[in-house]
């Protein structure tokens, strides 16, 4: 019962937790056991294909979890500062685009005559 409580609490904890990883491995092991049993009993190519798909999915999920563990989780304050920095960069980029001279916008002939 303690494992289920720990697993439920891991849903609200950022990042992969040990309980979540145990549940992940256990569920995939049970999936592989059931698929290999179905392959043995039915000799169907469909279950072989499903086993390959499940194996690729398992590898992809494990790779993703490892990548998550490599990255440092950011706090809300760090995310807020990062968002403000991106907003400032976007505004300065927009201002540079507005201040750029466009050669296609030539003055009207009457304005050229006034400047002479």
Q: What is the tens place of the pLDDT at every residue in 38-75?
A: 999 999 999 999 999 999 999 999 999 998 888 777 77
Res 9: pLDDT: 87
Q: What is the pLDDT of residue 1?
A: 82
pLDDT at 23: 93
Q: How far is CA 15 from CA 9, 65, 68, 70, 99, in A?
A: 12, 8, 7, 10, 44
Q: Which two three-digit tokens encode residue 17? A: 């937790």
């Amino acid at each position: 019962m303690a494992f289920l409580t720990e697993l439920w609490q891991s849903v609200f904890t950022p990042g992969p937790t040990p309980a979540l990883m145990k549940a992940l491995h256990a569920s995939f092991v049970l999936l592989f056991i059931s698929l290999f049993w179905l392959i043995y009993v039915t000799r169907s190519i469909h279950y072989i294909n499903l086993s390959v798909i499940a194996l690729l999915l398992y590898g992809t999920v494990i790779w993703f979890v490892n990548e998550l563990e490599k990255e440092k989780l950011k706090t809300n304050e760090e995310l807020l500062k990062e968002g403000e920095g991106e907003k400032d960069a976007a505004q300065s980029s927009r201002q540079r685009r507005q201040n750029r001279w466009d050669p296609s916008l030539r003055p009207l002939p009457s304005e050229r005559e006034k400047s002479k």
